[in-house]
Amino acid sequence: MPTTLDHKPHVAIIMDGNGRWAEARGLPRPAGHPVGADTVRTIVQTAIEEGVGALTLYAFSTYNWQRPEAEVAGLMSLLRQFLLIEAPKLHRAGVRITVLGRRDRLPLGLVKAIGAAERRTAGGKTLHLRVAIDYSARDAIIAAAADRPDAGTLVARLGTEDVDFLIRTGGDQRLSDFLLWECAYAELSFTQTRWPDYTAADFRAALADFRRRNRSFGGVTEAA
């Protein structure tokens, strides 16, 4: 049956295309990341307005360490600045911030910014904003399943919830090791639009499409 309007969905986004957006304009790849950060601000505000319950953003995967050192350093700095600047605003808006992924390989300044943002916004009820940094779903599952727990314990250790709707920008059509367990029954949406060009209107249209979809979860829905 179609998703009910009173359900607050968990939406996950693979934010892809920042580097290619910059290259298409004759700019170095890292120039796309600050523009992508502006898109994050727009989409978070739109998620609040649209009644999204949780929004999980893939900011930096475990595999992204393979990128040029200068680009990685710039991303780490940008993530730190984003958390420092946005956490007070998101706190006032009732947004809770949590970060998924490893922290032992992150710069100390970013680790401190993550901790401060999580503590400051811990009571937020309007939207749960989750940012995946140095994240691999396979690694998370392996770590959570180390002593063969039951399904409930495994889910608790993963520290997450089922994804209702996953969006990937930038043209690729794959999950790229993102929330593999949680996306078992997620609806999927792929767009050619690169992340810096993704607008509030694009996001609203995607959500409207999601809310029209029939989700039987392996069962049978009655014909209208």
DSSP state of 1: -
Q: Is 147 known to be catalytic?
A: no
Place of tokens 């995607």: 206
The residue from 64, 139, 177, 197 that is catalytic is 64
Dist. CA 84–CA 92, nearest whole Å: 14
Per-residue burial over 29-68, b if 16 or more Cβ lie within 10 Å, else e, is bbbbbebbbebbeebbbbbbebebbbbbbbbbbbeeeeee
Q: Is 162 known to be catalytic?
A: no
Q: How far is CA 129 from the centre of its chain?
A: 8
Which residues are the active-site residues?
A: 16, 64
